[in-house]
Amino acid sequence: MYGNLLLLERENGPSVRAERLAFGETSGRNEAWLRDTLLDHPDLLPIDDIDSSFSPLILLCKELTTPAGRIDLTFINSSGLLTLVECKLWRNPQARREVVAQVLDYARAISHWSYSDLQRQVGIASKRHGNVPYEAVRAKCPGVAEHDFVDSVARSMRSGRFLLLIAGDGIREDVGAIAELINRNAALGFSFGLVEIALYGLDDGSLVVQPRTLARTQLIERTVVVVRDSNAAVNISEPDQNDDLTLDASSIPDNNALGESPKQAAYRQWWLPVINSPLDDPDQGPQNYIGKIT
């Protein structure tokens, strides 16, 4: 646990002790207050400590509506990478598990969006018209080309390249269980962070906010392996985060290289359309070709 803060070497007076406040017990300081505070001061989020590729944060909107629910805060940067922030009071273990599942659902929902979907929903949430995401970025980074930005955003959404942040208070004791839940449910190439927002009160009524990075994950990389027989495995691909996890005929060695019989070759060719068929569920891994038949 962290102790109270002590402000030393003040120019206009003696040192001052700042005492830790219990989050949610002070009038008005609830989840909505935390959301609006982070909206007005996004620099409180320690993005560089979690994944600097999502920095700097540029606000898109609050309460972005998705098929999985409303996201408290949505940010973007000039590279087209989205940061989704969920603010939560951590009063019981059930709430902790639910908010982790919720933020994962947000990411899955947005990974199915086109850029037009994002533009439409951001416009509704912000009550603005036009290409709102691009206009927000251009105001901060005038040199960004619109077509490049649109393509980058669409690509990052399609590959699930998001930064998912949960901001709250009192979440320290359950970090291990939350990290395990994230690893079990990771189907997209996202980064994840837990941010504790600690509040300290001064005698004059002033408030000190101390953000702390409690946990973070690295980008999840996936490898597709096709097993040919019990003694060998053929590594078909090690896809980039933007690659489609599919196989084609050129990816599998010909029957001479594999030493297949005509029957085995016919079996392999029959499975190729199945292997290449699209999957509706983003959590479902690619189908594997088992190349041994007697």
- The tens digit of pLDDT for each residue in 137-162 reads 999 999 999 999 999 999 999 988 99
Residue 53 has phi, psi (to 5 degrees) of -70, -15
- Higher-confidence residue of 52 and 97: namely 52
Query: Do 42 and 76 fall within a single domain?
Result: yes
Query: Do 37 and 80 fall within a single domain?
Result: yes
Specify if 21 maps to a domain. yes
Specify if 44 maps to a domain. yes
Average pLDDT, the chain: 76
Query: Do 153 and 252 fall within a single domain?
Result: no
If you average pLDDT over residues 212-225, what whole number do you get?
Answer: 56
Query: Do 11 and 63 fall within a single domain?
Result: yes
Percent of the chain residues topping a pLDDT of 90: 35
* pLDDT score of 101: 82
pLDDT band at 270 (very low <50, low <70, confident <90, very high): confident
Domain count, the chain: 2
* pLDDT score of 241: 44
* pLDDT exceeds 80 at position 226: no
Residue ending a domain, choose from 173, 196, 216:
216
Do the beta carbons of residue 150 and residue 174 sit within 8 Å? no
pLDDT band at 192 (very low <50, low <70, confident <90, very high): confident
Residue ending a domain, choose from 216, 238, 259:
216
If you average pLDDT over residues 181-194, what whole number do you get?
Answer: 70
If you average pLDDT over residues 235-249, what whole number do you get?
Answer: 41
Query: Do 62 and 187 fall within a single domain?
Result: yes
- Alpha helix locations (H) across the chain? 31-40, 47-50, 93-110, 115-126, 132-140, 146-158, 175-185, 255-258, 262-276
Query: Do 120 and 248 fall within a single domain?
Result: no
pLDDT band at 120 (very low <50, low <70, confident <90, very high): very high
If you average pLDDT over residues 162-178, what whole number do you get?
Answer: 73
Query: Do 251 and 178 fall within a single domain?
Result: no
- Higher-confidence residue of 271 and 137: namely 137
* pLDDT score of 162: 92
Structure tokens at 198: 């600690």
Q: Note down the domain range covering 229.
A: 224-276
Which residues contact residue 196 at a Cβ distance below 8 angstroms, ignoring those fewer than 6 apart? 167, 168, 169, 170, 171, 172, 211, 212, 214
Residue ending a domain, choose from 216, 249, 267:
216
Do the beta carbons of residue 210 and residue 216 sit within 8 Å? no
If you average pLDDT over residues 231-240, what whole number do you get?
Answer: 42
Do the beta carbons of residue 191 and residue 50 sit within 8 Å? yes
Specify if 281 maps to a domain. no
pLDDT band at 125 (very low <50, low <70, confident <90, very high): very high
* pLDDT exceeds 80 at position 3: no
162-169 vs 191-201, strand pairing mode: parallel
- Higher-confidence residue of 25 and 123: namely 123
pLDDT band at 238 (very low <50, low <70, confident <90, very high): very low
d(CA 103, CA 107): 6
pLDDT band at 83 (very low <50, low <70, confident <90, very high): very high
